[in-house]
């Protein structure tokens, strides 16, 4: 099985790139796909760039051009729940869009407004977390995706009221929708870089790299453990 791995920003794939061997690169529609091996597993790694459209374009290429057997999105997010803090992780129990009309999504393709994380990948992530030497706080929760960096208190409140997420980011649900449409198991792993509030910009600048690496470390452990 080929693992399709997406990070939206260079920081989100940096650690994974250092662990990759036999690398071959191909650029399609402006995005560069790196095929190779990490921890003995065949992977295709791509930096999708930010936002839902870029992420969907990347995921669809992984599905059609590389025939990946699963899709993992690793990266950072803004925390919107009370029981996690910066540098804790969220595993996607499910993903929703916070800037898309749920009723329309249910009426038209893909006829659902919530995209569950794959149970097998969730179990693998939980096993990997249990075996990691450093303790990492995490939650199996809801991730809400939209084309905005959330740092406005009013927007944060409105997203929480409407979608009840544990964190917000800008790609996960788009990747999950593409995976769902192609019947490919998918998991989104996000490490909290900020609290999606007025301090989010400063917190993001401070914690982006360390949070991105935390998420990637979990993925490395998953690849190590996988059959
Ligand atoms: N990714 C990391 N922090 C975020 C935030 N506050 N809003 C959207 N995406 C994010």
Ligand 1 neighbourhood includes 102 CB (under 6 angstroms): no
pLDDT at 225 over 90: yes
pLDDT digits (tens, 9 = 90+) for 151-188: 999 999 999 999 999 999 999 999 999 999 999 999 99
pTM above 0.75, yes or no: yes
Ligand 1 centre to CA of 76 (Å) is 7
Report the chain's mean pLDDT, rounded to a whole number: 97
**Two structure tokens written together for 20:** 């990759």
Ligand 1 neighbourhood includes 203 CB (under 6 angstroms): no
Ligand 1 centre to CA of 78 (Å) is 4
Ligand 1 neighbourhood includes 12 CB (under 6 angstroms): no
pLDDT for position 136: 87
pLDDT digits (tens, 9 = 90+) for 104-159: 999 999 999 999 999 999 999 999 999 988 888 999 999 999 999 999 999 999 99
**Two structure tokens written together for 204:** 């993001």
Q: Which residues contact 127 (CB under 8 A, 6 or more apart)?
A: 225
Ligand 1 centre to CA of 196 (Å) is 6
CA-nearest of 22, 72, 62, 26 to 42 is 22
């Amino acid at each position: 099985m080929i693992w399709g791995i997406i990070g939206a920003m260079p920081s989100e794939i940096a650690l994974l790139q250092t662990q990759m061997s036999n690398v071959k690169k191909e650029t399609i529609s402006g995005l560069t796909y790196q095929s190779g091996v990490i921890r003995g597993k065949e992977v295709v790694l791509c930096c999708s760039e930010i936002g839902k459209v870029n992420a969907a374009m990347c995921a669809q290429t992984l599905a059609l051009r590389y025939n990946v057997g699963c899709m993992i999105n690793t990266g950072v997010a803004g925390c919107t729940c009370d029981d996690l803090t910066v540098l804790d992780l969220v595993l996607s129990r499910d993903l929703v869009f916070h800037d898309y009309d749920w009723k329309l999504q249910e009426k038209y393709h893909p006829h659902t407004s919530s995209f569950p994380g794959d149970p097998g990948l969730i179990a693998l992530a939980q096993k990997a977390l249990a075996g990691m030497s450093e303790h990492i706080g995490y939650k199996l929760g809801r991730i809400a995706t939209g084309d905005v960096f959330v740092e406005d208190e009013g927007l944060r409140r409105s997203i929480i009221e409407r979608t009840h997420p544990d964190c917000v980011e800008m790609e996960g649900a788009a990747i999950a929708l593409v995976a769902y449409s192609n019947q490919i198991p998918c998991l989104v792993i996000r490490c909290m870089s900020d609290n999606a509030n007025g301090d989010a910009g400063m917190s993001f600048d401070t914690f982006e790299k360390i949070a991105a690496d935390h998420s990637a470390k979990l993925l490395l452990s998953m690849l190590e453990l996988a059959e």
